[in-house]
Amino acid sequence: MEEWVDCSVVSEDDALQDEYGHMDDSGLTFTTKELQLDCGETLVDAQLRYRSWGTLNEKKDNAIVVCHALTGNAALDDWWGSFLGDGLPFDTSKYFIVCSNLLGSCYGTTGPTSINPATGEKYGPDFPLVTVRDAVRLQKLMLREQEGVKSVKCVIGGSLGGMQTLEWLFDDNDPLHQEGDAPYVRSAIPMACGLYHHTWQIATSELQRQALYADPNFLNGNYEKQPATGLSLARQIAMVSYRSHQAYDDKFGRRRVNEAGDEVEEVGESLDAPFSVEKYLTYQGEKFISRFDANSFLTLTRLMDTHNIGRDRGNTTDADGNVRGSVAEAANSLVQPVHVVGIDSDALYPISEQEDLAKALPFSELSIIRNNDGHDGFLLAQDAIAPIIRAFLEEHD
């Protein structure tokens, strides 16, 4: 089933603010002695920072897991706060809501800014390659071992959060799953993502990484202070990809601003004045360097590029007899109900990817949100997304 939801009137005139509010590393901490990574390395004393709302029931099966996007954190109440609370889609009177900071990030979970137990120094550029599956593996360990969750009602997330959501559906990345057990996750709502990271998205991530590499203060990741120019530019590139042509045109047009920040006509001496959109991008870059780490940014964009549900899943083998799997086989193996959500103006993860995802999953439905916000519509179009979440959670136990 495919559903179109028109929320073009939801976007406010000033809707191009940063998608996250206050950011910090507050929360609970889970530690596992060893985390085996897909790259073959082992993280010792890997930590996961997370937050929770509501109460786990006696059956320990009313948990809802929410996964954040690239530069988010565990503070779900800050970036999807309208969904969270008594009687809201993430109903804290009915569900136990958990949101974790992503492996490799800089908000309390082990990443490049963490201390390497082997050296007593920060990992920095020596932090190993981590995958979406590694991140989900750590989250599952926390949920099972520290919170005692027996079964997850639903996993929900957008963008990189949607990629994690898809990985949660597979139990081959769960160290505690036993053969013959029912799926640990009973349903999912992935938004604004696809079956794997496409070439266009990898290229966009690489362009942002190249901005960091070009900063003389980056020093191959061995910097003592942030490579501010490169990190700022990387964020500005990202902000363009997160929104749409229409959103930028509606907000800024060809308006220019003077040094005082006042709009001026595009005539005479004012032709030297910067465009309003230039000032906006500069502001976003400056804001980002105050809240994020360059090596964490590299780690997470590379992690995002590893997204591929078909990797090593299925019966397809190479000439040496190694299982390579396929996207189609992996998707077809899933038995849980899934509601896919896309934004029709998303240029970074276009609707065609959500359509392909919904077609590949045996038990799926698709909702497409009509608005001009672009990729960040999954964060901004909350009034349109809320009833989709609520209805799906009520329909599927």
Q: Which residues belong to the active site?
A: 159, 346, 375
Beta-carbon neighbour count of residue 323 at 10 Å?
A: 12
Could you tell me the sign of the dihedral formed by the alpha carbons of 136, 137, 138, 142, in that order?
Answer: positive
> Pairing relation of β-strands 152-158 and 188-191?
parallel
- DSSP element (H, E) containing 99: strand 96-100
Kindly write down the DSSP assignment for every residue of 23-67, as one continuous string.
----SEEEEEEEEE-TTS-EEEEEEEEEEEES---TTS--EEEEE
Asked if 340 contacts 365 with a C-beta cutoff of 8 angstroms, the reply is: yes
Beta-carbon neighbour count of residue 286 at 10 Å?
A: 13
Contacts of 209 (CB under 8 A, 6+ apart): 234, 298, 301, 302
For residues 379 and 51, give the distance between their C-alpha atoms in angstroms, rounded to a whole number: 19
Task: Kindly state the DSSP code that residue 154 receives in the 8-state scheme.
Answer: E
Asked if 367 contacts 386 with a C-beta cutoff of 8 angstroms, the reply is: no
Query: How would you label 216-243 residue by residue, b for 16+ Cβ within 10 Å and e otherwise?
Result: eebeebebeebbbbbbbbbbbbbbebbb
Token pair listed for 37: 């990574």
Could you tell me the sign of the dihedral formed by the alpha carbons of 141, 142, 143, 148, in that order?
Answer: positive
Asked if 126 contacts 115 with a C-beta cutoff of 8 angstroms, the reply is: no
